[in-house]
Structure 1
Amino acid sequence: MLEIGTKAPDFTLLDQNGENVSLNDFRGKKVILYFYPKDSTPGCTKQACAFSELNPHFIEANAQIIGISKDSVASHKRFEQKYQLPFILLSDSELEVIKSYDVWKEKNMYGKKVMGVVRSTYLINEDGVIEKTFEKVKAADNPKQMLDELNG
Structure 2
Amino acid sequence: MLAPGTLAPRFRVFSTHGTRVSLADFRGQRLVLCFFPRAFGAAGLRETRALRDSAVALEAAGVALLGVSADTYSRACDFARAERLAFPLVADPEGHVCRDYGARSSLWPLTHSARALTYVLDEAGRVERAFPGAAGAEAALAFLKLPREVQPVRSLRALPSPAPLAVLEPTATAAAALLRRAVSGAVSGNAGSASSGAALRPALRVVRPV
Q: CA deviation at 1:114?
A: 5.1
Given residue 133 of structure 1, which amino acid in structure 2 is its aligned partner?
Answer: A
Percent same amino acid at aligned positions?
A: 27
**Quick one: higher RCO (CA 8 Å, sep 6+), 1 or 2?**
1
Identify which of 125, 128, 141 aligns with 1:147.
141
- DSSP 3-state at the match of 1:131: strand
Matching residue within 103, 126, 129 for 2:126: 129
1:120 partnered with 2:117: yes
Separation of aligned partners in 2, 1:116 and 1:19: 23
Deviation by residue 1:72-121 (Cα, 9 ceiling, x = unmatched)? 221111111111111110011121110001111325xxxxx856421001
1:71 correspondence with 2:71: yes
Task: Tell me if structure 2 keeps the 8 A contact 1:54–1:143.
Answer: no
Question: In the alignment, which residue of structure 2 is the partner of 1:8?
Answer: 8
Structure number with larger C-alpha Rg: 2
Deviation at 1:151, TM superposition (A): 2.5
Q: Does 1:103 align with 2:103?
A: yes
Report the CA distance between 1:43 and its aligned residue. 2.5
Equivalences, count? 144
Aligned-partner Cα distance in 1 for 2:102–2:138:
23
Name which of structure 1's ranges 10-19 and 29-38 shifts more when overlaid on structure 2: 10-19
Distance 2:141 2:43 in 1: 19
Which residue pairs with 2:39 in the alignment? 39
Deviation at 1:33, TM superposition (A): 0.4
Any gaps of 5 or more consecutive residues in structure 2? 147-210
Alpha-carbon separation, structure 1, partners of 2:5 and 2:17: 32
Q: Is the 8 A contact 1:105 1:118 kept in 2?
A: yes
TM-score, normalised via structure 1 length: 0.86
Provide closer, same or farther for how the CA distance between residues 70 and 116 of structure 1 changes in structure 2, counting only shifts above 3 A.
Answer: closer
